[in-house]
Amino acid sequence: MADEDRDVSQGDHGEHDHIWRDLMTGVHPKLREGRVVFKRLPGTSRCKLCAVPFDGIAAPFLRAFMKKKHARKNPFFCDF
């Protein structure tokens, strides 16, 4: 019963903690692959996490088909 009452702040962060850590630090394999592709597209303003361009020739395509645009609450990131 004590295990059921254990708080997350005591060190049990769940089974997906390593995935979130990798995503937020930028070392997740899929995120790294995406950054390589998105960095090759022209644009000056980019997402700090995945490097998707917010302006340039590819931006309208990314907004329309991939739904990649500025996040509402933080313009430095996309709406991932």
pTM: 0.62
Burial (CB count <10 Å: 0-12, 13-18, 19+), residue 50: buried
Q: For residue 22, how many C-alpha atoms fall within 13 Å in the half-sphere facing its CB? A: 10
Residues of the chain with confidence (pLDDT) below 70: 1-13, 80
- Residue 12 has a pLDDT of 61
Residue 5 lies in a domain: no
Residue 2 lies in a domain: no
Residue 52 lies in a domain: yes
Residue 11 lies in a domain: no
- Residue 1 has a pLDDT of 46
Number of domains in the chain: 1
Structure tokens belonging to residue 32: 């790294």
The whole domain housing 78 covers 17-80
> Cα separation of 80 and 72, whole Å?
11
